[in-house]
Amino acid sequence: MEQPTQSAPSAEAARPRKAAIFDLDGTLLDSMGVWNQIDIDCLGRRGIAVPEDYTATVASMQFRQIAEYTIDRFGLTDTPEALMAEWDEMAYEAYATKVQAKPGAVEYLRELAADGVRLGVATTLLPRLREAALRHLGMDDSFDTIVSVDDAGGVGKDHPDIYMLAAARLGAEPADCIVFEDLLTGIRSAKSAGMTVWAMYDDSSAADWSEIGRIADGTLHDFHTAPRTW
């Protein structure tokens, strides 16, 4: 009896799935100024000036880690829960009503989606704040997955776990992913996972910009010139 022949996979099925993974604070969102002001106001209430290295030190930490570090560094009597609640209330209004997208971000997301690119977020931002910001900016339906450091077992962006998890959820191999980040720590981690990484300039990482430019595959000051292929 003649054996049935198997059809070859279609070109569409065989094509690697492309994916783009975005950080939020300082990358898609022009929001780092919000946290700078929160630091100033929160520590100011306690009679403390913000040290020059504080923002860069906590940038890649998750929320509770920042609270614990802040309490330990400045000898505060607050509990981590109380400090996080204070920050959350201060930030929510700004994210829900004031934070803006980086120039060209909304249009770029639409263009990638129209080209069949899978879109994801890898962020340390708390769900309440990221949901408020994305809703405010009309981006709440833009992504196929949103991954936080908590989803990655609480591992911060000094390890590639969050980017690898986002890629897996998007059904893409690391080599077929492009990551957009503003932090040197995150850029190093995503590169170590074999991903293409483009750096977004933000004032919060200005001190690292030279090293960022050396490591990243490309640099941006907005999304108008972001890559369409990788």
pLDDT tens digits for range 61-119: 888 999 999 999 999 999 999 999 999 999 999 999 999 999 999 999 999 999 999 99
Q: Average pLDDT in the 23-51 region?
A: 93
Q: Can you give the pTM of this predicted structure?
A: 0.82
Please say if the pLDDT value at position 2 is more than 80. Answer: no
Q: How far apart are CA 229 and CA 20, in angstroms?
A: 11
What are the residues whose beta carbons fall under 8 Å from the beta carbon of 38, sequence distance 6 or more?
Answer: 87, 90, 91
**Burial level of 39, CB count in 10 A (0-12/13-18/19+)?**
buried
Residue 154 confidence (pLDDT) = 84
Q: Average pLDDT in the 41-55 region?
A: 95
Beta strands in the chain, from DSSP E residues, in sequence order:
19-22, 29-30, 100-101, 118-123, 145-148, 177-181, 196-200, 218-220
